[in-house]
């Protein structure tokens, strides 16, 4: 059979131990309230960012699809003018050159931002 356990007696509020006990309880309650507040603020900010991030992801996906269509169009256009294997190689060279230029400019901007 379970025995009832009484809570330990609280010290008198006028004693030093009572004051420290009350300060501890109030500090715990304050800390829990602060955590709840920041949790609510974080949730609100996350909810506010949810739709814009999804829209940006969709735009990024569609932009990538458009880039792939552009690359395919470039290859087909070059394949009509020259040998298809050479057209594929030229398409790759054009894309690698463009990527290298963008990377170089981005690296330069990153170094400038670090100064």
- 1 within a domain of the structure (yes/no): no
Are residues 75 and 91 in contact, defined by beta-carbon separation less than 8 angstroms? yes
Q: Residue range 7-11: average pLDDT? A: 59
- 6 within a domain of the structure (yes/no): no
Q: Residue 4: what pLDDT?
A: 65
Q: Residue 64: what pLDDT?
A: 94
- 107 within a domain of the structure (yes/no): yes
Domain that holds residue 90: 16-114
DSSP codes, 77-88: HHHHHS-HHHHH
Q: Residue 22: what pLDDT?
A: 87
Q: Residue 111: what pLDDT?
A: 87
- 9 within a domain of the structure (yes/no): no
pLDDT digits (tens, 9 = 90+) for 22-73: 889 999 999 999 999 999 999 999 888 899 999 999 999 999 999 999 999 9
pLDDT digits (tens, 9 = 90+) for 92-102: 999 999 999 99
- 5 within a domain of the structure (yes/no): no
Buried b (16+ CB within 10 A) or exposed e, 68-103: eeeeeeebeebbeeeeeeebeebbeeeeeeeeeeee
Can you tell me which residue has the tokens 């507040």?
37
- 98 within a domain of the structure (yes/no): yes
Q: Number of structural domains, the chain?
A: 1
Q: Is the pTM of this model over 0.85?
A: no
């Amino acid at each position: 059979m379970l025995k009832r356990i009484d809570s330990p007696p609280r010290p008198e509020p006028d004693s030093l131990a009572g004051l420290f006990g009350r300060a501890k309880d109030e500090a715990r309650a304050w800390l829990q309230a602060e955590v709840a507040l920041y949790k609510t603020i974080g949730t609100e900010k996350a909810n506010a960012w949810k739709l814009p991030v999804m829209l940006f992801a969709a735009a990024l996906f569609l932009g990538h699809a458009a880039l792939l269509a552009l690359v395919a169009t470039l290859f087909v256009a070059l394949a009509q003018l020259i040998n298809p294997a050479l057209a594929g190689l030229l398409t790759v060279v054009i894309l690698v050159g463009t990527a290298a230029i963008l990377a170089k400019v981005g690296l330069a901007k990153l170094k400038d931002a670090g100064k």
